[in-house]
Amino acid sequence: MGRLILPAATTIVCGILALAAANAQQVDPKLASYQTVSGVSGNLKSIGSDTLNNLMTLWAEGFQQRYSNVKIEIEGKGSSTAPPALIAGTAQFGPMSRPMKAAETDQFEKKFGYKPMAVRGAIDALAVFVHKDNPIQCLTLQQVDAVFSKTRKGGVDKDVTNWSQLGLTETFADKPISLYGRNSASGTYGYFKEVALFNGDYKDSVKEQPGSSTVVQGVASDKFAIGYSGIGYKTADVRTVPIAAKAGATCHDASEEATYSGDYPLARLLYIYVNINPNQKIDPLRGEFIKFVYSKQGQAATLKDGYFPITAPIASQDLKELGLAN
What is the DSSP pairing of strand 243-244 with strand 139-140? Answer: parallel
Strand 267-274, strand 93-96: pairing:
antiparallel
- Among 136, 141, 122, which residue's Cα sits nearest to residue 266? 141
**What 8-state DSSP symbol labels residue 158?**
S
38 vs 326 by CB, closer to another protein: 38
Shortest distance, position 236 Cβ to another protein, whole Å: 4
- Smallest distance from the beta carbon of 147 to another protein, in angstroms? 21
Residue (130 or 197) nearer to another protein, CB: 130
Of 295, 280, 256, give the one whose Cα is nearest residue 31. 295
Nearer to another protein, 43 or 184 (CB): 43
Residues that bind another protein (CB under 8 A): 25, 36, 38-43, 45, 50, 53-55, 57-58, 60-61, 64-69, 71-77, 89-90, 92, 132-133, 135, 170-171, 210-214, 216-217, 220, 232-237, 303-306
Provide the 8-state DSSP code for 283: P
If you write DSSP's letter for every residue of 206-271 in order, what string do you get?
-EEESSHHHHHHHHHH-TTEEEEEEGGG--TTEEEPPEESSTTSPPB-S-HHHHHHT-STTEEEEE
Who contacts 244 (Cβ-Cβ below 8 Å, separation ≥6)? 138, 139, 140, 141, 250, 251, 252, 265
Which residue number, 51 or 142, has a Cβ lying nearer to another protein?
51
CB of 84 to another protein, least distance (A): 12
- For another protein, the closer of residues 42 and 313 by Cβ is 42
- Closest approach of another protein to the CB of residue 73, in Å: 5
User: Torsion angle of alpha carbons 86, 91, 95, 96, nearest 10°?
Assistant: -30
Measured distance CA(292)–CA(310) in Å, rounded:
13
Q: What gap in Å lies between CA 199 and CA 188, rounded to an integer?
A: 13
Rounded to the nearest whole angstrom, what is the least distance from the CB of residue 11 to another protein in the complex? 28
Residue closer to another protein, measured from CB, 164 or 316:
164
CA distance 154 to 197: 7
CB of 91 to another protein, least distance (A): 9
**Closer by beta carbon to another protein, 143 or else 214:** 214
- The distance of closest approach from Cβ of residue 148 to another protein in the complex, given in angstroms and rounded to an integer, is 22
